[in-house]
A and B are shown apart, each in its own frame.
Chain A
Amino acid sequence: MTSAIETRRGRAGPPLSSAGWVRAWPLYPLLLLIVAFFLYPVLQILWLSLINRAGELSAENYLRATTTPVYLRTLGITLQISAWTTAFSLLAGYPVAYLLATARPRTRDVLTILVLMPFWTSFLVRTFSWMILLGRNGAVNKLLLSLGITDAPLSLIFNFTGTMIGMVHAMMPLAVMAMLSVMQRLDQTLVSAARTLGARGGSAFWQIFFRMSVPGVASAGLLVFISALGFFITPALLGGRQETMISQVIISIIQEVLNWRFASALAVMLLVATALVFLLYDRLLGLSSLDGAGSGSGTARPPGPLGRLGAAVGGRLIATLGWLSDRGGEIWERLVPVRPDRRQRSAARGVLLVSGALIIAFLCLPSFFVIPVSFTAGNCIEFPPQGFSLRWYALYFGAPDWIAATVRSFVVALLTGAAATVLGTAAAFVLVRQRITGRGIVLGLILAPLVLPRIIIAVGLFYLYARIGLVGTVLGLVIGHTILAVPYVVITVMAVLKTYDERLDQAAWSLGASKWRTLVHITLPQIRGGILAGFLFAFITSFDELTISLFVTGGSTSTLPRRMWNDLLLQVNPTLAAVSTIVLLFVTVFIIAAEVLRRRAVSQ
């Protein structure tokens, strides 16, 4: 079987021998880094959570966490908020994904950029924008009051509503993209076929299109839910006391009482919750549906009782939805009869377009509210701003601590970008071009920092750094950020390498080039777009990173996000708007450049 695969891929040499492991050397620097600064710290957390003050094995941390109502409640709130975020993101994201999947390629490209807007703006900036919009004197309330819709300002912030708006805004792009990747692979002629076979529009959509897009919805739900579990910025800035999530508690325990063991126990509980969600997902739908390979059911493994139940309930639900929309369609047709002699537009398409436009506006517009606010002449943040002045920009450029934080962030991001690009590209080459045993495990390990709640990595790194003296150092930040950023480089470069025609390299060898010169003169020049895109993604990941910075920096060693976080928590002022505007423009330009490069590289 091995030889069959080899023949297919045209590779020489025995892949499973020790020689294979020697040839895989470009993978090792990254692997070493990940083992030392990701795997080890996370395992350390596990260990810490299991010992008591005296260093003996004990369950006291877990006992305390599970018997103290406040922590249990926090865990409950975390799960609840994540569940609601998932539900809203899927519900609002589905029509947008459908719109994108059925749009013309040109339109789809433009809309994709708009949908990804929240993804591409700094996390802190967009949360700050929501504070401007939703506050008691915020833009939304001013609008509602002036239109006479409400008499008194609504409380939209520091409560569940604010948290939900912020989190759904942050998570929906992820949901849309995950669903889109499955929908784009669906064969639209199947819907046409259902129509010619006698299905009304509603039935054809629900029983065929929706049914086949379920794996996409499920994987989107999984991604959103586990990402939401680790959130702390949004609930901290937009939520009230009732919306305290577990990451916030972990942060305060570390920062205020420095109880490693107990914080570790909470982190492990978060980890277990994440793992449980994965497990439940696997039981219900099978993890294989995550890569979207199977566009329908028919996994190799027969479904368990839970899976069968899910399928039965789901099937009934879909049939009901189809029936409902068909009846709705019939009622609509009674109002506006179909005439065989006249063209008509579908009412459903109209509803879809309007709701899609509104949701996309919700995704891409809010961040820009920081721009006008930053030019206010007044002393506080308000919308619309009072007059026009550049004083807040002057304040920013004149404040040594702001500038120092900016420079520091820039340097760290640059170094992170470089390190992640070199290590990630080397690893991507091995992962795409060589057959190594344990490839799945290695790839899983490299990509794990994407899925694992960042707070766990941050706590683990802090504990490690505290003992080896890396707290507050640029090196410590760069290592931590590289761990977080390297998955983006690996994914991007692997995608480019997969589309790369290896016969070009073979041609170069046959023409007398050595392997090294082939790499330098043939391979790298052709994939450099992908590599550069990976670099830019890594740069931005670091530039916008707060979780690790929150622990391992502070005071004079603050990064820009860390500095902004302090002001956001303590005293919101227009300087923040000025800084946010600069970061917003900077990050947006960077990310769009990266995205354009990536697309060009992959489509070549």
Chain B
Amino acid sequence: MVGQEQGSGARALQRLAPDLISAGAPGAGVSAGLATKLSIRSIGKSYGPVLALADASLDLAEGEFLTLLGPSGSGKSTLLMIVAGLIQPTAGEVWIGGKLSTYEPPNKRDIGMVFQNYALFPHLTIQENIAFPLKMRRMPAAQAAEEVRRVLDIVQLPHVAGRLPKELSGGQQQRIALARCMVYRPSIILMDEPLGALDRKLRDRMQLEIKQLHKRLGITVLYVTHDQEEALAMSDRICLMKAGRIEQIGSPEELYFRPRTEFAADFLGESNIIAGRVVASGADGVVEGAGGLRVRAQVDPALAPGRTVKAVIRPESLRILQPGETAENVAEGVLAESLFIGGVCRHYVSIADDLVLSLKQLTDGGAAVPPPGTRIRVGWRGDHTLVLGVA
């Protein structure tokens, strides 16, 4: 399992390698060597009888951007805090840069952290804020000032050095928090929902900026968010968490197209989930769902006929079929509702009593959409159906 994860990490790094080399950043050219910057081994945390985190293991490769994604209470922030040393785990080990750090105090760890509310010291100027970690490391003042100038240039805010944090906008504070973290070149930068307090437009821009900084400087990032779009857009790999456990780790594409559980399928993107039973397994498998709907799909041979399963289809994989048109999978039903939401339209098609399929298609100016109440047929490809075993 660990090997598999490292494999995908390596792919992520290979994708990154050209950027790293062109930026001349430290660690460039290690794509083959693959240094593990962070290793979390069976970490657990319980508060009395309450289990906040159970048996979490993951590895973070140098230069990798890994996101802990999950709903609130999933343990993602707890895991991040344990890596930071701000919460002590009750089980397991944390290795940072090849050094056992499970119970090391935060200041002895080679990490930097960006907090949700940025945690800029309100009584210090931007200059003093960024110089703080350097001062703690006893760097001579002149050299520290030079370093501060360097990172302020990187985040493109060289003119704010003398200001107080409250005199900056949210986006600027965010960049300063990042600069304060980068200035002492920690092995890993931890980010706890760093964009949570920003409005949507600014958030989109900051996502891009952080992503570009990550590529340009080759920094290693452990990122926490509950926003699936953010996770998909930014990460090399995503670690999906639920109720204190790691649900699935993989690249964004893997998680989106090959979720291993119903939770994963539902949490990332939208899904139509059809409960059913396996009729035939294998490459030309068939699943029978509610109302006798037969769905052709590739079914894992381990799922023998008769097993209860869930068939997962993304709304954007569904198509409204024109009369006479056909597809690998076809379902017939009544168009219950059509919603126009800008760039896309969403249609709800009632197939059976307890089965409504949601269908998403790009808004197409002229195309005639039948009025609600019309009987229509929808179709989709067999390889767009994912069949998950139900435990």
Contact = CB atoms under 8 A, between A and B. Distances in A.
Interface of A: 187, 189-190, 192-201, 203-204, 208, 211-212, 295-298, 338-344
A298 B166 contact: yes
Contact of B100 (A195, A198, A203, A341): A341
A201 B105 contact: yes
B85 interface: yes
Nearest to B133: A197
Contacts of B164: 298
Contacts of A341: 93, 100, 102-103
Nearest to A329: B105
Contacts of A344: 103
Contacts of A193: 113, 115, 119, 121
Interface of B: 84-86, 88, 93, 99-109, 111-113, 115-117, 119, 121-123, 132-133, 136-137, 164, 166, 180-181, 184, 190
Nearest to A294: B122
B104 A338 contact: yes
26 contacts: A189-B116, A189-B117, A193-B113, A195-B85, A195-B105, A195-B107, A196-B85, A196-B112, A197-B112, A197-B133, A197-B181, A198-B107, A198-B133, A198-B136, A201-B105, A203-B136, A208-B121, A211-B123, A297-B123, A298-B122, A298-B123, A298-B166, A338-B103, A338-B105, A340-B102, A344-B103
A339 B84 CA distance: 16
B192 to A, nearest CB: 9
Given A190-B122, A212-B123, 17 more contacts: A189-B119, A192-B113, A193-B115, A195-B86, A196-B84, A196-B106, A196-B109, A196-B111, A197-B133, A197-B136, A197-B180, A198-B136, A204-B107, A298-B164, A338-B108, A340-B103, A340-B104
B122 A296 contact: yes
Contacts of A204: 107
Contacts of B115: 189, 192-193
A340 B101 contact: yes
A197 B132 contact: yes
Report the 3 A-B pairs with minimum CB-CB distance, sorted nearest first. Answer: A296-B123, A193-B119, A198-B136
B102 A199 contact: no
Q: Main secondary structure on chain A at its contact with chain B?
A: loop
B53 to A, nearest CB: 15
Nearest to A296: B123
Given A197-B133, A199-B136, A190 B105 contact: no
Contacts of B166: 298
B248 to A, nearest CB: 28
Interface centre among A197, A342, A344 (most CB of B within 10 A): A197
A211 B124 CA distance: 10
Contacts of B116: 189
B133 A190 contact: no
A25 B190 CA distance: 59
B304 to A, nearest CB: 46
Contacts of B101: 340
Contact of A342 (B85, B103, B113, B122): B103
A196 B113 contact: yes
Contact of A190 (B103, B108, B119, B180): B119
Given A296-B122, A297-B123, A196 B86 contact: yes
B139 to A, nearest CB: 10
Contacts of B104: 338, 340
Given A196-B84, A198-B133, A298-B166, A343 B119 contact: no
A348 to B, nearest CB: 12
A193 B102 CA distance: 18
A565 to B, nearest CB: 47
B264 to A, nearest CB: 31
A201 B180 CA distance: 19
A192 B117 contact: no
Contacts of A342: 103
Nearest to B113: A196
Nearest to B95: A340
Contacts of A201: 105
Given A195-B86, A298-B164, A340-B100, A200 B107 contact: yes
B143 to A, nearest CB: 16
Nearest to A204: B107
Contacts of A343: 88, 103
Given A187-B117, A200-B107, A298-B164, A212 B180 contact: no
* Among B113, B122, B137, B180, residue most surrounded by chain A Cβ atoms (within 10 Å): B122
Contacts of A297: 123
Contacts of B111: 196
A198 B184 contact: yes
A512 to B, nearest CB: 40
A34 B116 CA distance: 49
Nearest to A188: B119
B123 A194 contact: no
A338 B116 CA distance: 29
B206 to A, nearest CB: 19
Nearest to A214: B123
B366 to A, nearest CB: 46
A190 B121 contact: yes
A203 B136 CA distance: 8
A587 B41 CA distance: 58
Given A198-B136, A298-B164, A192 B103 contact: no
Contacts of B112: 196-197
Contacts of A190: 119, 121-122
Contacts of A339: 103
Nearest to B93: A341
A187 B118 CA distance: 11
A208 B135 CA distance: 14
Nearest to A346: B105
Contacts of A194: 121, 132
Contacts of A195: 85-86, 105-107
Nearest to A186: B122
A190 to B, nearest CB: 5
